[in-house]
Amino acid sequence: MDHFATPGYDKLELRTRSANVMGLLGLDHGGNTILSFGLNPDQVVKQFELGTASLDERLQAARACQEAGYPVRFRLDPLVAIDGWEEQYSQMIERALPTVVPEQVTLGSYHLLGNLSRVIAERFPESPLLGPKLERDGEGLRYPHELRRRLYEFVTAEIRRLNESVPISVCKETPRMWSELGTMIARGECSCHPQLA
């Protein structure tokens, strides 16, 4: 990380669903190392993100990193359309945004690339992730377009209730989706491009 702390060098983005950040807090990062925390509601974490930190643990870790001067971002990716997803994501955002002020939020929806559906079926044959009707749209299999748009619009509106200015973008989406979301999302602002911060 010392390399990235030097002025003029590129930025480093670390993505995590962990809360194990103690080793980072005393390092000289020069503001050039970005910590991007993947967030999901408690139900999604417990059911699908096995072996990862809880939502509250991630938020406390993100706050500690922000207090140590790191740029902190949130990735709400994948958004999962579980039963009652509107309430679940609303509650998650109400817990997250008062805890940390992210410099950016990136949204992405549940999708399957390559042979992932076969791997899930072999390892977790009863998984509800295999139940929703998915369609081929752009890369891989995704939720139907209208469901994805509802997810993005709802979550964006919930974020805007608490933070009117944080840039919000979508990840791995189709040109049609970008067009339909219009000014709700920030063009060119994606956690995949940390140099844009």
> 19 lies in which domain range?
2-110+148-196
Is the distance from CB of 93 to CB of 159 less than 8 angstroms?
Answer: yes
Q: State the CATH number of the domain containing residue 105.
A: 3.80.30.30
Residues 158-190 pLDDT 10s: 999 999 999 999 988 888 999 999 888 876 656
Q: List CB contacts of 47: < 8 A, sequence separation 6 or more.
A: 82, 128
- 54 belongs to a structural domain: yes
Comparison of pLDDT for 139 and 97, the residue scoring more? 97
Distance CA 136, CA 172 (A): 13
Q: How confident is the model at residue 194 (pLDDT cuts 50, 70, 90)?
A: very low
The confidence score (pLDDT) of residue 173 equals 87
Indicate the average pLDDT of the chain.
88
Residues of the chain with pLDDT > 70, as a percent, come to 88
Give pTM, 2 decimals. 0.89
Q: Which two tokens stand for residue 91?
A: 């509650």
Is the distance from CB of 46 to CB of 68 less than 8 angstroms?
Answer: no
Between 85-89, 95-99, 137-141, 162-166, the lowest mean confidence (pLDDT) is in: 137-141
- 137 belongs to a structural domain: no
- 62 belongs to a structural domain: yes
Number of structural domains (the chain) is 1
Give me the helices (H) in 27-184, please.
42-48, 55-67, 85-99, 116-123, 145-162, 175-181
Q: Is 137 helix (H, G, I), strand (E, B) or coil?
A: coil
The confidence score (pLDDT) of residue 197 equals 38
- 93 belongs to a structural domain: yes
The confidence score (pLDDT) of residue 141 equals 84
- 123 belongs to a structural domain: no
- 125 belongs to a structural domain: no
- 157 belongs to a structural domain: yes
- Highest mean pLDDT among 72-81, 137-146, 170-179, 183-192 belongs to 72-81
Q: Is the pLDDT of residue 139 over 70?
A: no
- Cα R_g (the chain), whole angstroms: 17
Is the distance from CB of 107 to CB of 169 less than 8 angstroms?
Answer: yes
Count of CA atoms in the C-beta half-sphere (13 A) of 30: 13
- 141 belongs to a structural domain: no
Q: Is the pLDDT of residue 58 over 80?
A: yes
